[in-house]
């Protein structure tokens, strides 16, 4: 009998099979799994410390080593990169923690320890153990079950080459295989937050239906995400996302993106993601002292960076609206005011703004009269604990 070598699947086919397996065994991860863009790197094994990695644009890179692995191992690695690093926003958390560029590998290892301290078990009870080359807390004589930030402060210095680097998407060092520029198929930062919210709710529902079958680290993450405790910046970001009148995956046709299915001689519009539009009302009244304005600047900067990266109109308001211009960075806002207070003027300006806004955020100390209602969803970022009056029709986040 003629001997035939086993057929090696095409890279894209292998990745697709592994992704489908993750979505089947961990159904609550389907949305985030299919949001990533796979990128096959033929020579990845020669230039990378590991078989798979992710970047901040939600690209998932893989090479021939990954393609040749058994499906259960591929499932464990995809779970690690996508459900671990991207879902838990390790890149953003590294930035918020102030991790220096030269210490990114230590943060990557800390995140790996937090992910790998529990073997993921899918529906049906099948376990997907992480490969032996993965990083476990026991390697550093540290206990299981701690958070990423805890491991980071307790780890020794970690140098390149000691462990597998997972890419910039883990908050770690950027790897040589990572592509430059914007990933046109990547979800925006806002959509990433919506995906996290949808996934957290799916995890919570799955745990409620079949208690004990969802990995404990994901249950803990989902609980913290949906009900953040002691982290009002995360709560503010989550509140803004929840107030958006936006259906995840909503899209429209546009000639800015040509359909790949256009027949010869014809140009058909392609599907594009509809990004919700938001505005910011910034209180510049006399009751907002230097400390309040410094905090307001921090909150506006965070909203522009993490929720409205495509820019937003900012309505500089005391008793009247002094300025309304679209900005992309908080440094572009010119603060004018210092008089009385009436945030209703700013909200009214947001309501009448064109093109129409889907929501607005009011950053204020709360020492203001409020209108009886608002014609646009409103999130109030309250930055002083002395405020007593808050509108019942708005979502209020106490940022103190």
* Domains of the chain and CATH, by start: 11-187 (no CATH), 278-398 (3.40.50.410)
- Check pLDDT > 60 for residue 160: no
pLDDT value of position 137: 93
Residue 97 has pLDDT above 90, yes or no: no
- Ranges 58-72, 104-118, 140-154, 180-194: which has the least confidence: 180-194
Q: What is the pLDDT of residue 245?
A: 45
pLDDT at 226 over 60: yes
Say what the pTM is: 0.66
Q: What is the mean pLDDT of residues 2-23?
A: 80
Token couple for 314:
């900012």
- The answer to whether 93 touches 170, Cβ cutoff 8 Å, is no
Band of pLDDT at residue 92, cut at 50, 70 and 90 = confident
Asked if residue 273 has pLDDT above 80, the reply is no
Split at pLDDT 50, 70, 90, the class of 169 is very high
Minimum mean pLDDT range among 4-8, 56-60, 314-318: 4-8
- Give the 3-state secondary structure of residue 122: coil
Q: Phi and psi of 326, rounded to 5°?
A: -80, 130
Write down the pLDDT at residue 248: 40
The pLDDT score that the predictor gives to residue 322 is: 92
Nearest by Cα to 197 from 165, 230, 224? 224
pLDDT exceeds 50 at position 281: yes
Per-residue pLDDT band for 252 (boundaries 50, 70, 90) equals: very low
Q: Mind listing the pLDDT tens digit for each residue in 286-326?
A: 988 887 888 888 888 888 887 788 899 999 999 999 989 99
What's the confidence (pLDDT) of residue 275?
65
> Residue 357 CA to chain centroid, in angstroms?
22
Report residue 264's pLDDT band, with 50, 70 and 90 as the boundaries: low
* pLDDT recorded at residue 64: 93
Please determine, for residue 81, whether its predicted confidence score (pLDDT) is greater than 90: yes
Name the residue with higher pLDDT: 344 or 256.
Answer: 344
**Cβ contacts of residue 233 below 8 Å, gap of 6+?**
96, 299, 302, 399
pLDDT of residue 253: 45
Helix (H) or strand (E) holding 37: strand 37-40
What is the arithmetic mean of pLDDT over 119-123?
A: 89
| Cβ atoms 120, 128 nearer than 8 A | yes
Whether residue 65 has pLDDT greater than 90: yes
As a whole number, the mean pLDDT across the chain is 83
Average pLDDT over every residue of 243-253: 46
In the chain, pLDDT over 70 holds for what percent of residues?
82
Number of Cβ atoms within 10 Å of the Cβ of 347: 27
Q: How does pLDDT run across 323-380, given as a tens digit for each residue?
A: 899 999 888 998 888 889 999 999 999 999 999 898 899 999 988 999 999 998 898 9
């Amino acid at each position: 009998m003629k001997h035939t070598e086993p057929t090696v699947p095409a890279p894209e086919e292998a990745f697709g099979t592994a992704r489908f397996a993750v979505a089947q065994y961990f159904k609550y991860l389907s949305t985030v799994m299919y949001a990533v863009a796979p990128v096959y790197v033929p020579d990845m094994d020669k230039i990378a410390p590991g078989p798979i990695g992710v970047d901040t644009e939600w690209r998932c890179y893989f090479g021939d080593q990954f393609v040749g692995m058994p499906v259960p191992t591929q499932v464990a690695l995809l779970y690690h990169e996508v459900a671990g690093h991207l879902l838990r926003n390790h890149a953003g958390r590294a930035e918020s923690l102030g991790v220096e560029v030269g210490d990114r590998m230590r943060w990557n290892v800390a995140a790996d320890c937090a992910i790998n301290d529990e073997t993921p078990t899918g529906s049906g009870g099948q376990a997907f153990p992480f490969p032996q080359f993965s990083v476990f807390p026991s390697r550093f004589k540290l206990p299981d079950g701690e958070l990423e930030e805890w491991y980071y402060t307790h780890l020794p210095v970690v140098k390149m080459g000691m462990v597998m680097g997972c890419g910039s998407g883990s908050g770690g060092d950027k790897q040589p295989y990572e592509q430059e520029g914007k990933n046109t198929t990547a979800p925006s930062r806002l959509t990433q937050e919506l995906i996290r919210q949808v996934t957290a709710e799916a995890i919570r529902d799955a745990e409620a239906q079949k208690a004990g079958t969802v990995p404990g680290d994901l249950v803990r993450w989902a609980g913290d995400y949906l009900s953040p405790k002691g982290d009002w910046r995360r709560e503010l970001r989550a509140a803004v996302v929840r107030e958006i009148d936006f259906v995840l995956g909503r899209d429209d046709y546009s000639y800015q993106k040509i359909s790949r299915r256009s027949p010869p001689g014809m140009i058909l519009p392609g599907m594009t993601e509809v990004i919700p539009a938001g505005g910011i009302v910034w209180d510049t009244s006399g009751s907002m002292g230097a400390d309040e304005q410094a905090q307001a600047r921090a909150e506006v900067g965070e909203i522009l960076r993490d929720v409205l990266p495509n820019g937003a109109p900012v309505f500089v308001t005391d008793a009247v609206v002094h300025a309304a211009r679209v900005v992309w960075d908080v440094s572009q806002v010119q603060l004018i005011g210092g008089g009385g207070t009436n945030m209703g003027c700013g909200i009214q300006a947001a309501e009448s703004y064109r093109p129409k806004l889907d929501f607005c955020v009011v950053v204020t100390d709360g020492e203001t009269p409020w209108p009886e209602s608002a014609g646009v969803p409103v999130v109030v970022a309250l930055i002083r604990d002395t405020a007593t009056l808050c509108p019942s029709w708005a979502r209020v986040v106490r940022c103190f």
